[in-house]
A = this chain, B = another copy of it.
């Protein structure tokens, strides 16, 4: 018992117990049963239900100083547009042993803003565990959601020992939930995620709209797979796209120019060029499958 506690944290506070927050809670409960897991949210009913489901050891409707007077990791699992404000509030009242992180899909807008606040910047390291699903709510939480998944942790200056200590503590936290850690600047994270995550979401939405419900009777597994993520929450994704606006626009431009290559090749009946585009995609996608056999 003592061993698990020493290896891990004594307390994890999760602000926002949805799919991600709930899955963090489930992973901690399963792996470190001695660690306190406190859920913070707006709805008492939802928090009670999450506790009944075994995800939490306690809950509260706000982050109080009392809750944060001991050593704890606080993970803010709110929509990206609500993270900064919450981190600032918590930084105002928390004890020295508290380290705050988040699970937001964009990093620069959040980290840059927090950087400007001295208190908050001292106790915060940005995280993005790349895991999720299109169905929100702790009911879909899974204790193994993070198993083998990458968690990007905002990199710090290696010469700054207090920053490095925070980085190591937060890296260890995610690693012990099953993640592989990649250290990366917030700006680089956002540039890459615009391509690997935000663009696929926009492409899935565009495909769904272009196809139209009137044609659904003639869809196959291709349509089902390529558009699955389009069912995700519109408001969550609007905030993500807005917070990563420039990179997302650049990613859309990139996809549009490939689509244009397809269109022009088809118009010119240049089927060799069509095939060479399809081959490039197939080769690239097969590389992905070899690297990620799931």
Footprint of B on A, CB under 8 Å?
A: 130-133, 149-150, 152, 182, 189, 192-193, 195-197, 199-213, 215-235, 237-238, 241-242, 245, 248-249, 251-256, 258-260, 262-263, 266-267, 269, 271, 274-275, 277-282, 284-289, 291-292, 294
Contact = CB atoms under 8 A, between A and B. Distances in A.
A212 B284 contact: yes
A239 to B, nearest CB: 8
Contact of A271 (B211, B242, B271, B284): B242
B216 A210 contact: no
A207 B210 CA distance: 16
A96 to B, nearest CB: 33
A231 B266 contact: no
> Which 10 pairs between the two chains have the least Cβ-Cβ distance?
A205-B281, A234-B278, A238-B275, A206-B258, A234-B279, A210-B255, A231-B285, A210-B254, A200-B226, A230-B285
A237 B213 CA distance: 24
Contacts of A225: 225-226, 228-229
Contact of A150 (B189, B217, B231): B217
25 contacts: A130-B219, A130-B220, A131-B220, A131-B221, A132-B220, A132-B221, A132-B222, A133-B221, A182-B217, A189-B218, A192-B218, A203-B206, A208-B288, A209-B258, A216-B287, A216-B291, A216-B292, A219-B292, A221-B229, A226-B227, A227-B281, A230-B278, A234-B275, A234-B279, A252-B259
A190 to B, nearest CB: 11
A215 B203 contact: no
A212 B192 CA distance: 10
Contacts of A266: 241-242, 245, 248-249, 252
Contacts of A204: 222, 226, 281, 285
Contacts of A221: 131-133, 229
Nearest to A287: B213
Contacts of A197: 218-220, 222-223
A292 B199 contact: no
A188 B209 CA distance: 19
B223 A226 contact: no
A239 B281 CA distance: 16
A271 to B, nearest CB: 5
Contacts of A222: 132, 197, 200-201, 204, 229
